[in-house]
Amino acid sequence: MLVIKIANEVDAGMASYVERAVAEAEKDHAVILLHVNTLGGALDAAIKIRDAILNAKVPLTIAFIDKRAISAGSLTSLAAKKI
């Protein structure tokens, strides 16, 4: 299982981090766990993260919402197969 933290502000740097982490997970992991605690951020970054999660070639994606998944955090969480 690979844990990806979605915390603080969602921005372009976080989108790049998530895209790299998903690529790594596709090689070696069966599960991606998104640990989400964010008030949101940039919509374009959230869309990139959502697309990376939706298109991930792993059997299971899970979003664990730890306190907050507001705005961009909600969009990201909804991309997972399970919340």
- For residue 68, the model assigns a pLDDT of 96
At which residue do the structure tokens 């990806």 appear? 4
Band (pLDDT 50/70/90 cuts) for residue 72 is very high
| Residue 27 to residue 8: CA distance in whole angstroms | 27
Q: Are 59 and 33 in contact (CB under 8 A)?
A: no
| Residue 8 to residue 47: CA distance in whole angstroms | 17
Q: Are 80 and 53 in contact (CB under 8 A)?
A: yes
DSSP string of 39-82, one letter each residue: EEE-HHHHHHHHHHHHT--SSEEEEEEEEEE-THHHHHHHTSSB
Per-residue pLDDT reduced to its tens digit, 17-70: 999 999 999 999 999 999 999 999 999 999 999 999 999 999 999 999 999 999
